[in-house]
Amino acid sequence: MKHIVVLMDGAADEPILKLGNMTPLEYAHTPNIDMLAPYSQIGRVKTIPEGCAKGSDTANLSVLGYNPKEFYFGRSPLEALSMGVSLKETDVTFRTNVVTLSEEEAYENKIILDHSADEISTEEARELIEAVQKELGDKVRTFYPGVSYRHLLVWDKGSTEVNLIPPHDILDQRIAAYKPQGAGSDLIWEMMKKSYNVLNNHPINEARRKKGLKPANSIWIWGEGTKPMLPLFEEKYDVKGAVISAVDLIKGIGIGAGMTSIDVEGATGNVHTNYKGKADAAIKWLIDEDKDFVYVHLEGPDECGHRNELDNKIKAIEYIDQKIIKPIIDALENRSIPYKMLVVPDHPTPLRLRTHTGDPVPFMIYESGSKLVNKDNRYTENFAGSTDYYIEEGHTLMDVFLSK
């Protein structure tokens, strides 16, 4: 039996007046989901336990069968794993942005102008982080370049008893009010301060200024975490699994769980991702490589929710139906290979709120060759809510899905 999870990040939403009080999931033209629904189990699942951060990391951990209350290590160690950095148990990891600070004032009084330095290119940022590593790195503290403005500091026996502020939360404010607090915070502040001297007049930044781009003239350290110690997915469920995602956090969870993370060229994490590449990679993993489980993660609906882009959110859901679900089921049906498919968002990202909520999400489990369950079944928030099938502990959904 092949198992496919189609994870529609942030797809669940609220009824929208403009759509005749339908949700984007309800309104979207999804002939393939509609075809499977009458033969499927449909219900709701609460993926984010009360009191947990409403993030894609906690929610995807939950869908993959790990209780986020028990297995949550912060975002930076998951990003570290997706970057291929292996961690020791004593390592503490920190997200390290390259940011743009105002230039006139003393460091304390500077204003944070951009948490991404105009979404600096990976190549430029790499040189800058290498310069930071040369000046500030040592055997205990190592800076690793990542993608665009997102980098990593690994600090052996670093402190997790810190209070560090995400830079995107304090845009256009003076940084003095957001100095790191707690054990080890003086050293973190010191590194941030020194990085300005390394970066502000770096040739990369001089060249950026000439092009009218913001300089990446300081690092900003936040998002502390420790090595994720997840029980292996394969040992837990006795299947060989892969994750296919454009998002570092999701790749990191997969790698942390001992799964294969398949990189797909042109996978962007937005509505115009390389759907075909992702579907092909899933089919290859299941059929050519004869493995059992694949987790195809699509970030598009979430991104559109954050941006309040109604039409694109609908489109993202339609693309998943047509360009992910259809080719995968066709490939398996054509070869008469038995399979189960779970379609589920990790959490709602309502357009109205432009952020995640912890409300239950609708799920659908289809098994090939199933008899009709209910001809009126529909895969929508509303229909799922009308059934009495409700899974309160989100991490047990995977047990249900992978049960024989």
Contact set with Zn ion (CB under 5 A)? 9, 56, 302, 346
Which amino acid is located at 85 in the chain?
A: V
Q: Is 20 exposed, middle or buried (0-12, 13-18, 19+ CB in 10 A)?
A: exposed
Token pair recorded at residue 232: 């292996």
Closest-CA residue to 98 (of 7, 222, 13): 222
In the complex with Zn ion, the residue whose CB is nearer, 179 or 306, is 306
- Nearer to Zn ion by Cβ, of 41 and 62: the residue is 62
- Nearest approach in angstroms of CB 14 to Zn ion is 16
Q: How far is the CB of 159 from Zn ion (least distance, A)?
A: 29
Distance from the Cα of residue 320 to its chain's centroid: 17
Asked if residues 243 and 261 have their Cβ atoms less than 8 Å apart, the reply is yes
- Which of 9/248 has CB closer to Zn ion? 9
Q: Which is nearer to Zn ion, 248 or 292 (CB)?
A: 248
Q: How far is the CB of 356 from Zn ion (least distance, A)?
A: 6
Measure the CA–CA gap between 350 and 360, rounded to whole angstroms.
13
- To the nearest whole angstrom, how small is the minimum distance from the Cβ of residue 54 to Zn ion? 9
- C-beta of 83 vs 298, nearer to Zn ion: 298
Pair 362, 379: CB distance under 8 Å = yes
- What's the sign of the alpha-carbon dihedral 205, 206, 212, 214? positive
Which one, 62 or 133, has the nearer CB to Zn ion? 62
Least separation in angstroms between CB 350 and Zn ion = 12
Q: What residues have CB less than 8 Å from 122, skipping those under 6 apart? A: 145, 146, 147, 148
Least distance (Å) between residue 249 CB and Zn ion = 9
Nearest to 217 by CA among 202, 234, 228: 202
